[in-house]
Amino acid sequence: MSLRAAFNQLVTVTAMNLRNLPSRVGTSLVAVIGIGGVVAVLVSLLSMGEGFRAALDLSGRDDVAMILRGGSPDELSSSIGREQYNAIVIAPGIARDGRGPIVSGELYSIVDLPMRSTGTGANVPLRGVGERGPELRDGFRIVAGRMFRPGQDEVIVGRGAFSQFENIDLGREVKWGSQKWRVVGVFEAGGSVSESEVWTDAVVLRGVYRRGNTVQIIRAQLTSAEALPVVRAALEKDPRLNVSVRSEKAFYSDQSRILLALIKYVGTTIAVLMGVGAVFAALNTMYSAVSSRTREIATLRALGFGAAPVVTSVLLESAVLGLLGGVVGGLLVYFGLNGYQATTLNFGSFSQLTFAFTVTPRLLVTGLGYSLILGIVGGLLPGIRAARMPVTTGLREL
Amino acid sequence: MNAAPAVAAAGTSIVRIRDLVKDYRRGAETVRVLDGLSLDIRQGDFVALMGPSGSGKSTLLNLIGGLDRPTSGTLEVEGLRVDELSAGSLGRWRADHVGFIFQMYNLLPVLTAERNVELPLLLTNLDREQRMRRVAAALKLVGLEHRARHRPRELSGGQEQRVGIARAIVTDPTLLLCDEPTGDLDRKSGDEILDLLQALNREYGKTIIMVTHDPHAAERAHRVIHLDKGMLSEGSG
């Protein structure tokens, strides 16, 4: 049989099936909604991961070094003494200007704040930053109130933390441990992880937590991204020091790994389990579609139409329903969740990270791909059944 | 099993059936619907197949049309062993050689009359223009050229059956197989369909095999073959 005839058959049977769709709106909707629901859940979970990744990616610069004590996986467990600090900040590759090296010795601790959404307590990072700390964050600016004054018990609150947690309204006094702090400003920092934090003067925080002359981490502006190995080599060579040097980007990328893996694992597991249910919905729809057209299919077979176009047409219809579900689910998440601010526990820092659900085109395509697979799997058995049905039996169907 | 004598007709046989057996399974039971049947049908014949319900008329028609396979025996159409064709070849053979006319017309409700008639031509290499020319000719032949753009639900039963006939003849097949073509029509419409079939047989030399319960319809045929319990007997047409 020629290609033209094969193509004609396929187009005819598929068009016949699709033109029949309006008479089967109810059953078709079951499949569309079932698959749409699965795609919505999958895309929303993945968009959560994407938002989380974006928050951490935005935080990471290639030309800023994060210097921790050697072997410390995170800021909480790191500690760098004054002598080491002094040796580190003069390393070659660290940028300087008229005010000296562009570095920020920082302390990192965790305080408890109730979440606005649930009222339950959550871990929020309280960071003590050096005088030049803000310079090392892209897009840092005070959006309400003012900057904390050095040496004062004042804090400024990141925009993300401000929107997610209670008791940190501007001008309010907040008590952590025995220390009272006054909230004097709200800041943004280019959508980065810093916006999930509360900041104060590192010197004040050091005093409150009795950390002596230590800092936990040094953030250092590099002369360029390429200077990182230079700094690392210089610091490794210094026998007084035992530190690990990573770019800020690498640091946050490492932090996000656990949660991203968890989101991916949970998202995939849920999507697969729900997918099984959606396939049954699609199967049911397509069985009823095939059964309502038994005589038409048998008539076409009697006229000489092959089994392959019949199977393919059922698969195509099922795929179309699946894709419709994918579009519905994708749009639902895009318009319902994209940009929605939420917080989650960042396993890398044991504190809450504020992020926005981010529905990227890639995620939408992933969702559509999954809906297509569900549709095709749901149409396979009904398609085969339609093709294998004896023509003489089908012709007798009313 | 002894071969039954073939119910034969003079002239060139277009259909040659020998010792045809068809069994069906119903649960654990095997039911023999056709029992060693032999039959010849000549080119240009108009044969009516009559018999009580369950006598095997439609089964025989389906076997001749390649819609079903015999349990044993041979079935030749124009010298070709239809019973030996593969499923794929059988479909192509049907498209080229057989025109089916059904009791319930079996038109696709979503397609217009001309699109329904065009269906068998989609299996050929004709381009769209050639196909539409043939469709127009077939619809004209059945007197429905003015209803080409109408869907089946906009047509009367008689008109629907005429569209069915146009679809059956549009590829100029060797055989026209009609399964109770007037069974769902009133007498007047039924007569018009029978007139049309007679004209196709007489003027265009189409070989027609028609299953019918209706003696009035059978009168139009040249030959009337009776089937009872899977066996044949011939009466005058």
Dihedral (CA of A357, A358, A364, A365) sign: negative
- Determine the longest span between alpha carbons in chain A, in angstroms: 94
| B80: in domain | no
| B1: in domain | no
Chain B residues closer than 8 Å to A8 by CB: 122-123
Q: Cα(A172)–Cα(B143) distance, rounded to whole angstroms?
A: 92
Q: How far is A381 from chain B (nearest CA, A)?
A: 20
> Which residue in the set B59, B88, B119 is minimally distant from A303, CB to CB?
B119
> Which residue in the set B68, B100, B125 is minimally distant from A5, CB to CB?
B125
| B159: in domain | yes
| Total tally of structural domains belonging to chain B | 1
| B38: in domain | no
Find the closest chain B residue to A13 by CA distance: B119
- What residues pair up with B15 in beta bridges, in sequence order? B41, B77
> Which residue in the set B58, B88, B95 is minimally distant from A303, CB to CB?
B95
pLDDT in tens, B181-234: 998 899 999 999 999 999 999 999 999 999 998 999 999 999 999 998 878 877
| B167: in domain | yes
- Reported as type and span, the H/E element at residue A233 is helix A228-237
Is B174 an interface residue toward A (CB < 8 Å)? no
Across residues B10-25, what is the average pLDDT? 87
Q: Cα(A7)–Cα(A115) distance, rounded to whole angstroms?
A: 60
DSSP assignment of A310-339 equals HHHHHHHHHHHHHHHHHHHHHHHHHHHHTT
Chain B residues closer than 8 Å to A2 by CB: 125
| B59: in domain | yes
Contact criterion met (CB < 8 Å) for A2 and B125: yes
Q: How far apart are the first and last CA of chain B?
A: 30
> Which residue in the set A16, A296, A304 is minimally distant from B95, CB to CB?
A304
- Reported as type and span, the H/E element at residue A258 is helix A248-292
Chain B residues closer than 8 Å to A304 by CB: 91-96, 120, 123
How many CB atoms neighbour CB A71 within 10 A?
10
In which domain, by residue range, is B207 found?
45-67+95-236
Look over chain B and give the mean of its residue pLDDT values, rounded to a whole number: 90
CATH of the domain at B161: 3.40.50.300
Q: Cα(A304)–Cα(B91) distance, rounded to whole angstroms?
A: 4
- Predicted local confidence at residue A341, as pLDDT: 76
Contact criterion met (CB < 8 Å) for A295 and B119: no
Across residues A274-285, what is the average pLDDT? 83
- Predicted local confidence at residue B18, as pLDDT: 95
- Predicted local confidence at residue B228, as pLDDT: 87
Q: Where are the alpha helices (DSSP H) in B98-154?
A: 113-118, 128-141
Find the closest chain A residue to B111 by CA distance: A16
Residue A358 phi/psi, 5-degree rounding, is: -120, 105
| B4: in domain | no
A294 with A394: CB under 8 angstroms? yes
Contact criterion met (CB < 8 Å) for B123 and A9: yes
pLDDT bracket for residue A342 (50, 70, 90)? confident
- Predicted local confidence at residue B5, as pLDDT: 52
Contact criterion met (CB < 8 Å) for B125 and A12: no
Dihedral (CA of A349, A352, A356, A358) sign: positive
A354 with A341: CB under 8 angstroms? yes
- A385: tokens are 């059944």
- Residues in Cβ contact with A271 at an 8 Å cutoff, skipping those fewer than 6 apart: A38, A41, A42, A45, A370
% of chain B exceeding 90 in pLDDT = 73
Contact criterion met (CB < 8 Å) for B106 and A390: no
| B198: in domain | yes
Residue A58, pLDDT above cutoff 70: no
pLDDT bracket for residue A313 (50, 70, 90)? confident
- Predicted local confidence at residue B2, as pLDDT: 42
pLDDT bracket for residue B20 (50, 70, 90)? very high
Tell me which of A77 and B134 has the higher pLDDT: B134
Find the closest chain B residue to A20 by CA distance: B110
- Predicted local confidence at residue B3, as pLDDT: 45
- A176: tokens are 């952590």
Q: Cα(A8)–Cα(A60) distance, rounded to whole angstroms?
A: 56
Look over chain A and give the mean of its residue pLDDT values, rounded to a whole number: 87
Q: Cα(B150)–Cα(B143) distance, rounded to whole angstroms?
A: 14
Across residues B127-137, what is the average pLDDT? 94
Our measurement of the distance from residue A164's CA atom to the centroid of its chain's CA atoms, rounded to an integer in Å, reads 18
Find the closest chain A residue to B123 by CA distance: A5
> Which residue in the set A4, A296, A304 is minimally distant from B108, CB to CB?
A296
Lowest mean pLDDT among A54-63, B100-109, B157-166: A54-63
- A210: tokens are 């009795």
Residue A293, pLDDT above cutoff 90: no
A5 closest CA partner among B88, B99, B228: B88
Q: How far is B70 from chain A (nearest CA, A)?
A: 13
Q: Cα(B120)–Cα(A50) distance, rounded to whole angstroms?
A: 53
Find the closest chain B residue to A15 by CA distance: B110
pLDDT bracket for residue A337 (50, 70, 90)? confident
- A237: tokens are 């060579």
Chain B residues closer than 8 Å to A293 by CB: none
- Predicted local confidence at residue A44, as pLDDT: 87
Residue with tokens 């936990």: A216
Considering A170-179, B2-11, B171-180, the range whose residues carry the highest mean pLDDT is B171-180
Across residues A161-182, what is the average pLDDT? 89
Contact criterion met (CB < 8 Å) for A391 and B67: yes
pLDDT in tens, A68-92: 998 887 888 899 998 899 999 999 9
Contact criterion met (CB < 8 Å) for B88 and A306: yes
Residue B1, pLDDT above cutoff 60: no
pLDDT in tens, A107-130: 999 898 998 888 888 889 999 999
Burial class (CB in 10 A: 0-12, 13-18, 19+), A142: middle
Lowest mean pLDDT among A61-75, A181-195, A216-230, A286-300: A286-300
- Predicted local confidence at residue A50, as pLDDT: 82
Find the closest chain B residue to A4 by CA distance: B125
> Which residue in the set A19, A303, A392 is minimally distant from B120, CB to CB?
A303
Q: How far is B137 from chain A (nearest CA, A)?
A: 19
- What residues pair up with A247 in beta bridges, in sequence order? A65
Size of interface A-B (CB pairs under 8 A): 67
Dihedral (CA of B150, B153, B159, B164) sign: positive
Is B110 an interface residue toward A (CB < 8 Å)? yes
Chain A residues closer than 8 Å to B91 by CB: 301, 304-306
Q: How far is B214 from chain A (nearest CA, A)?
A: 19
Tell me which of A59 and A40 has the higher pLDDT: A40
Residue A315, pLDDT above cutoff 90: no
- Predicted local confidence at residue B237, as pLDDT: 45
